[in-house]
Structure 1
Amino acid sequence: MTQQRNDFDELAYNPHFKLNFLAPSYWATWLGIFVICLTSFLPKRLQSYIAKLLTSIIIKSKSGATKRARVNLAMCFPEKSSKEQEAILYQMYITAAMFMMNFASLSLRNKNWLERHTEIRGFKNIQKVLDEGENVILLVPHTWAIDIPAVLFASRGFPVSAMAKSQKNLLADWLMHKQRVQYGGRVYDRSVGIKPFIKSIRKDNYLGYYLPDEDLGKEHSVFVDFFATQKATISGLGRLSKLSKAKIVPLFAMFNSKTGQFELDVYPALPFPTENEHKDARIMNECIENYVTQTPEQYMWILRLLKTRPNNGINPYKNNY
Structure 2
Amino acid sequence: MRISEFAQHRRFLAAVGILLFLLVFLSVFLYSLPKETVLSPLKTALARQGIDFSCEDAGISFPSGIVCRKCALTPRGGVPLFLDRAAASWEWTGLIRWLPVHLRAQRGAMSLDIRTSPMVSDPAKVRLRLASVGSEDVAAFLSPGAGTGFLIDAADLQWKKSSPGGITGAGEGSLSWLRFPIPATDSPVREALLRNVKLKFVVREGTLHISSLTGTYEGSAVDGTGEIARFLTPSLSAVTFHLRIQNPLEGRIATLFNMVAKNAKNANLRVKGSLLSPTGEFQFF
More helix, by proportion: 1
Q: Report the TM range for the smaller structure's normalisation.
A: under 0.3
More strand, by proportion: 2
TM-score between both structures, scaled by the size of structure 2: 0.24
More RCO (CA 8 Å, sep 6+): 1
TM-score between both structures, scaled by the size of structure 1: 0.22
Structure number with bigger Rg: 2
